[in-house]
């Protein structure tokens, strides 16, 4: 599968520093009204979030449940239902059509970094790179990570869409989820 091969091929540019002991000691935040268990994988936890039903349906339609339930580590930038609803009318329905499977896999892959990156690690990388850090995703997108004046993190896709991390550092057995408020897409062709 294109998604799985790209996950293997993309280097873990975020580095081993993301495995800091402090990140493991923190309690997981609630997401979508549900507790997020660090013993459960990305798909299991996302399925429990009332705020991520569209994302879970898209992952299922794209055939990516096994991949995102795999060993990882993955950093998933998880758009909320509201983020999907903000797309132009009909976009989600079109992406979920069987004939658009590859496009759906690419869009979802733009939300997956093949490494573990806690928010503190992202902030450090951004600072080390002078204010922005570029990262490649398994979907072939290049995202720009930045920080805000109040210590938050933003993610900008190749089309200039800016997503804010609204809930950071949701530990999973195979990585981490950062909840975002926008859907990231590959560069328009």
List the domain boundaries for the chain: 2-8+27-180
CA distance 34 to 94: 29
Q: Looking at the predicted structure, is the pLDDT value of residue 47 above 70?
A: yes
Render pLDDT for 133-142 as a digit per residue (tens, 0 to 9): 999 999 999 9
CA distance 76 to 44: 13
Backbone φ and ψ for 150, nearest 5 degrees, come out as -95, 15
CA distance 139 to 67: 13
CA distance 53 to 70: 20
Distances, alpha carbon 57 to alpha carbons 37, 82, 166, in Å: 20, 14, 21
The pTM (predicted TM-score) of the whole model is 0.85
Render pLDDT for 70-113 as a digit per residue (tens, 0 to 9): 998 999 999 999 999 999 999 999 999 999 999 999 999 999 99
Q: Name the pLDDT band for 151 (thresholds 50, 70, 90).
A: confident
Q: 2.30.180.10, 3.90.79.10, 3.40.50.150, 2.30.30.830: which CATH number matches 2-8+27-180? A: 2.30.180.10
Render pLDDT for 11-36 as a digit per residue (tens, 0 to 9): 333 333 333 333 344 588 889 888 88
């Amino acid at each position: 599968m294109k998604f799985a091969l790209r996950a293997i091929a993309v280097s873990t540019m975020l580095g081993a520093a993301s495995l800091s002991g402090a990140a493991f000691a923190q309690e997981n935040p609630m997401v979508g009204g549900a507790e997020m268990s660090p013993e459960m994988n990305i798909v299991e936890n996302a399925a429990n979030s009332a705020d991520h039903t569209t994302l879970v349906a898209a992952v299922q339609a794209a055939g990516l449940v096994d991949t995102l339930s795999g060993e990882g580590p993955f950093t998933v930038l998880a758009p909320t239902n509201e983020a999907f609803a903000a797309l132009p009318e009909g976009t989600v329905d079109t992406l979920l059509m069987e004939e658009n499977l590859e496009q759906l896999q690419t869009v979802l892959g733009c939300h997956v970094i093949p490494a573990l990156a806690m928010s503190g690690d992202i902030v450090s990388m951004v600072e080390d790179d002078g204010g922005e850090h570029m990262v490649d995703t398994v979907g072939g997108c290049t995202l720009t990570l930045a920080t805000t004046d109040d210590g938050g993190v933003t993610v900008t896709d190749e089309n200039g869409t800016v997503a804010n991390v609204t809930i950071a550092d949701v530990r999973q057995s195979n990585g981490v989820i950062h909840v975002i408020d926008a859907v990231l897409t590959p560069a328009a062709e």
